[in-house]
């Protein structure tokens, strides 16, 4: 499966959730929760009690969206390369080697 195939599949799943659950149209957190429940079996795999606790934490006003956490990670890694993941460090090393070869 190509990366774009996965994106298209995700888009069709999100579309279905937005159509099925109109409340997800105004909440990324609720949409994410519905996605995990419907397509990854969250509720059945962890049980009702754990699911309700997870839902409570996720839907809390003080809990940031995943997008906010991802954006913050990118900003931190942009300003401090020591905190970059292995893949990015390796890619940067390869880019540097390639630039040296091409000079």
In tens, the pLDDT along 17-66 reads 999 999 999 999 999 999 999 999 999 999 999 999 999 999 999 999 99
DSSP per-residue codes, the chain:
--HHHHHHHHHHHHHHHHHH-GGGGG-HHHHHHHHHHHHH-HHHHH-HHHHHHHHHHHHSTTSPPHHHHHHHHHHHHHH-GGGS-HHHHHHHHHHHHHHHHH-
| Mean of per-residue pLDDT scores for the chain | 89
Q: Model pTM greater than 0.75?
A: no
Distance between CA atoms of 63 and 67, rounded to whole angstroms? 11
pLDDT of residue 5: 64
Distance between CA atoms of 11 and 9, rounded to whole angstroms? 5
Could you state, in order of their start, the residue ranges of all structural domains in the chain?
Answer: 1-60, 64-103
């Amino acid at each position: 499966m190509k990366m774009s195939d996965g994106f298209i599949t995700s888009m069709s799943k999100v579309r279905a959730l937005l159509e099925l659950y109109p409340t997800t149209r105004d909440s990324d957190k609720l949409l994410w929760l519905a996605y995990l429940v419907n397509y990854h079996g969250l509720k059945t795999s962890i049980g009702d009690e754990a699911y309700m606790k997870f839902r409570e934490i996720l839907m809390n006003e003080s809990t940031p969206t995943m997008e906010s956490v991802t954006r913050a990670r990118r900003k931190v890694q942009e300003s401090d390369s020591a905190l970059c993941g292995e893949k990015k460090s390796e890619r940067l090393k390869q880019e540097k080697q390639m630039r040296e070869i091409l000079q």
